[in-house]
Chains A and B, each alone.
Chain A
Amino acid sequence: MQRSIVTAIADMMPVAGDCFLMAVPFEPEPLPGQFVMLSFGDGRTDPFLPRPISIFDWEGGMLTLLIRVVGRGTLLLGRQAAGAAVRVTGPLGNSFPDDAGRVCFIGGGIGVAPLFYAAKRSKAKDRSFILGFRSADESYLTGEFSEVAPVRFVSDDGSLGEKMFPHEKLDALVAAGERPDLVVTCGPEKMMAAVHGVAKKHGLRDVHSLESRMGCGIGACLGCRVNMPGASVLVCKEGAVFDGSIFEEKQ
C-alpha cells in the first residue's frame, strides 16, 4: 500500500558529479523500479511540487535516494541536513521484471540510480551492469555498484572503462556469446532507444525506466503524459517501466 508521510532525513551524503544520497526511514518495502515523490516537509510552499525520485536502495526500513542537482528544487533538497523534514509519497509505479537466467542492467548518468536496488534484489543466476558516464570525474558510486555485480564501465571520453556507448558494449557482449535473457535500462532517452535497437537486433527482451516531469506521481494531474514513438503514455501510472517497443514507431 502506498502512503504519504512526513519524516526526518536520517543521513545526507554528497557524492561526485553534483549528486547526493539522502536516507529517510520509509515503509513499505518498494519493488525494484518503483519511485517516490519527494518534497519539503516543513510547510514551505516554494518549491511547491514534489519531485519524482527513483529508489537507489531500501534496506530494513531505510530508503536511500540518489539525487542529481538539476534545478532549484534539487539544489535546495541537497542543502538539507539530517533531521530536516521531508515528505515522501510512495512507493509508486510499476516495477522491473526479473529473470532467473542472465540479466544485464544498463544505466547512463543519473539513470544508474534505480539499477543498484534492481540488481541487488534480482534473483537472476547471472547479473551484470553496463554503466556509462561522461567521464571518470563525473562518475559516482562505482565501488558500490561493483559490490553488487560485475560492472563494465564505459565513458564518453574513455577516462572510465572503455570509450564507447552502453548500447555498443551490449552489442559487443552479445557478439562474444554473453547473451542476456533480460535487459533493464535507465538513462537518457537516446541511450535507452539505442539499447532497444541492439536488443531488437538480437531478439533480447528489454525494459526501460522513463523519466518525465510529474506533478503528483499518482495519476491525478496527468502532467507526465509523453508521446513516445510507440504510444502516448502516462509515465507515473502506466510506468515508469516500459517495454522496449515503446521506442518503435506504431505501425
Chain B
Amino acid sequence: MTDLRVHIGVTTLKNPILTASGTFGYGPEFEPYLNLHALGGFCTKGISLEPRAGNPGVRIVETPSGMLNSIGLENCGSRVFLDEMLPKIAAYDTAIIVNFYAHSEEDFVKLAATLSESDRIDALEMNLSCPNVKQGGSVFGADPRLIESLTAAVRKVTKKTLIVKLSPNVTDITVTARAAEAGGADAVSLINTLIGAAVDRRTRRFTLGNKIGGLSGPAIKPVALRMVWQTARVVKIPVIGIGGIATLGDVIDFLLVGARAVQVGSANFVNPGVAQDLVEGLDRYLAERGETLDALIGSVQE
C-alpha cells in the first residue's frame, strides 16, 4: 500500500479522497455501499446553529452531465448534530469534517466555537457560498475583506483545522482564496456549485421551486480544474479540489494541477460506493508507477 497520507492544518488524512458536503448526508446513509474507514474523510451536510427546513418545491433537476439543486441547507441544527448524529459516526476511523454555515459573523463564530468543543470533529469547513440561501451566503462569498475578517474571527475561537469553502461565482477566485489565507485558514476548498437555472418550457415556469440553484456534476469539472490550478499557484495553504469528480482520471487531474486532496460530490448520488473505488484506484495507480503522492501533486507541465 502506497503512503497516501496528506496533511491539512493539524489534521492528517489517511488519503486525499474526501466526500463533499451535501452529497454524503451525515455519513451512515452510505454504510451499505462502502467502508467509511477507507475514506480520507467526509464532510457533513452543512450545519447551522438552528435547524433549517430548506426550500419548498422542486429541489433538484438533472442537466447535461450534471444537476441543479436548491435544497436550501436543510439540516438538523448544531445541537441535534452534536448530540445525536455525531455519536453515530464517532467510531469511524476517518476524518470528520463538519461543514458549517451562518448568516452573520456572530453566528459563524458561535457555531465554530460550539463545534470546536467536540474532540471527535477533526476539521471545520466554513461555507461562505451556498447559492440557495437568500440572506448572507453570496455576500460573504464574494467580498474579500469580509472573507478575511470572518476567517480571522473564526480562527480565534478554533484550534481545529479550518477550511474555507470558496464560491466560484466571483470574478477572480484567487482574490477570495488569498483573503481566506490572510485570515488564517489552514486550507481552501473549491469550487462550490455554480449558480444556474432551468425552465420547464411546457409550464413556462422555473423548474426549481427556488428558481435558481447550484450546478454540480461532471459538467463543471473544467471550470473547477482551472480555478484549482490558478489558486494553487498563488496560495501557500493546501487547496482541496472539488467539482465534477467521478472517476480516477478526474482525481488525478485535480492532483496534477495542485490539489492536495479532493472531494467527491454528486457522483455519490450515482454510485454511493464511488469514493472507496477512488481510494483503491489511486493506490493502484501510484503503486503501478512507483510514484509517490507528493510527486504527483502539482506536477502538471506548464
Contact = CB atoms under 8 A, between A and B. Distances in A.
Contact of B272 (A47, A73, A89, A222): A89
Given A3-B33, A220-B30, A232-B53, A48 B217 contact: yes
A213 interface: yes
Interface in B17-74: 22-25, 29-30, 32-33, 45, 53-54, 56, 58-67, 69, 71, 74
Given A1-B32, A46-B64, A49-B270, A221 B58 contact: no
A219 B32 contact: no
Contacts, number: 92
Given A2-B32, A223-B71, A48 B66 contact: yes
Given A46-B65, A49-B62, A225-B59, A220 B269 contact: yes
B218 interface: yes
B71 A222 contact: yes
B273 interface: yes
Interface in B216-231: 217-219
Contacts of A225: 54, 59, 74
A215 B67 CA distance: 9
Contacts of A87: 270-271
Contacts of A1: 32
B246 A45 contact: yes
A47 B67 CA distance: 10
B218 A48 contact: yes
A4 B54 contact: no
Determine chain B's interface SS by DSSP, over half rule: loop
Interface string A1-43: 1111000000000000000000000000000000000010001
A18 to B, nearest CB: 16
A216 B54 contact: no
A166 interface: no
A218 B272 contact: yes
B2 interface: no
A50 interface: yes
A251 interface: no
A4 B273 contact: yes
Contacts of B33: 2-4, 89, 218
B255 to A, nearest CB: 20
A48 B74 contact: no
B268 interface: yes
A39 B274 CA distance: 14
What 3 A-B pairs come out closest when comparing CB atoms? A223-B60, A216-B269, A220-B25
Interface of A: 1-4, 39, 43, 45-50, 73, 87, 89, 213-216, 218-225, 227, 232
Given A4-B272, A49-B62, A221-B60, 5 more contacts: A48-B218, A213-B61, A214-B60, A220-B29, A225-B59
